[in-house]
């Protein structure tokens, strides 16, 4: 359902895989490795429809900053009925007043190769899904640069075998957050954020 939206960009698509239990961090790193010698990567999930203009703005941004960016500040979590409507008629067919309040965190990423190499890709100690992207963003804040840009993303409803993030991953991220508190606090202050965790 999402692949046609990604193919519209005309960019090569590399699908990350991992052996054993699902690990999003491993899959993203695998896709980056398959891509070879790349300059800018758009990290997308198979359950999220991107805003094309937002992605193109993000690509231009990271080409000039050589950092990373989340190409949206609004991510709408569609319910089952809305997902069917989005697939059949497009996300634009869903009136905004019918959408739940957008989530501040999670979603898509656009990253320059220099920033990717500085942080060493995604931390594969994060298992299953959840918090691996927050750790990735935190490390970009500390070691390179990371920003959020205006834009929208739509998360399609789907059943999950494990609907909750891994508890060990949450503990690992909290430890990393404490270890880098000074740098994160400075970054949050420059963005006018009271709680950086909500957007990382």
Predicted local confidence at residue 22, as pLDDT: 81
* DSSP per-residue codes, 9-70: TT--------SSS-BHHHHHHHHHHHH-S-SEEEE--TTEEE-HHHHHHHHHHHHHH-SEEE
Give the whole-angstrom CA distance, residue 31 versus residue 33.
5
- Structurally, the chain folds into a number of domains equal to 1
Predicted local confidence at residue 163, as pLDDT: 60
In CATH, what number is assigned to the domain containing residue 118?
A: 3.90.550.10
Predicted local confidence at residue 8, as pLDDT: 95
What domain range is 186 assigned to? 3-198
β-pair partners for 77: 155
Predicted local confidence at residue 20, as pLDDT: 84
Number of helical (H) and strand (E) elements in the chain, helices listed first: 8, 7
Nearest to 25 by CA among 130, 165, 142, 97: 130
Q: Which residues, 6 or more positions from 169, have their beta carbon under 8 angstroms from its beta carbon?
A: 126, 127, 128, 130, 131, 132
Encode burial over 133-159: b for 16+ CB neighbours within 10 A, e otherwise: bbbbbbbbbbebbbbbbebbbbbbeee
Average pLDDT of adjacent 10-residue blocks, the chain of 200 residues: 92 94 92 98 95 96 97 93 92 88 88 98 91 95 94 89 76 95 93 85
User: Could you tell me how many residues make up the chain?
Assistant: 200
Q: C-alpha distances in angstroms, 199 versus 105, 135, 188?
A: 4, 12, 10
Q: What is the pTM of this model?
A: 0.93
Predicted local confidence at residue 128, as pLDDT: 82
């Amino acid at each position: 359902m999402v692949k046609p939206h990604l193919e519209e960009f005309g960019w090569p698509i590399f699908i990350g895989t991992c052996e054993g239990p699902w690990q999003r961090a491993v899959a993203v790193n695998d896709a980056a490795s398959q891509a070879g010698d790349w300059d800018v990567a758009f990290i997308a999930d198979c359950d999220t429809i991107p805003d094309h203009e937002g992605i193109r703005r993000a690509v231009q941004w990271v080409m000039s900053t050589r950092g990373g960016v989340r190409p949206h500040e609004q991510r709408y979590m569609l319910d089952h009925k809305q997902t069917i409507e989005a697939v059949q008629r497009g996300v634009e067919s869903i009136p905004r007043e019918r959408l739940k309040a957008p989530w501040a965190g999670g979603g898509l990423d656009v990253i320059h190769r220099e920033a990717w190499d500085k942080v060493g890709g995604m931390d594969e100690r994060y298992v299953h899904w959840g918090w691996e992207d927050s750790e990735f963003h935190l490390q970009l804040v500390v070691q390179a640069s990371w920003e959020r840009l205006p834009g929208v993303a739509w998360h399609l409803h789907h059943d999950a075998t494990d609907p909750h993030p891994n508890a060990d991953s949450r503990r690992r991220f909290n430890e990393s957050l404490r270890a880098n508190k000074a740098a994160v606090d400075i970054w949050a202050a420059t963005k006018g954020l009271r709680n950086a965790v909500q957007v990382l």
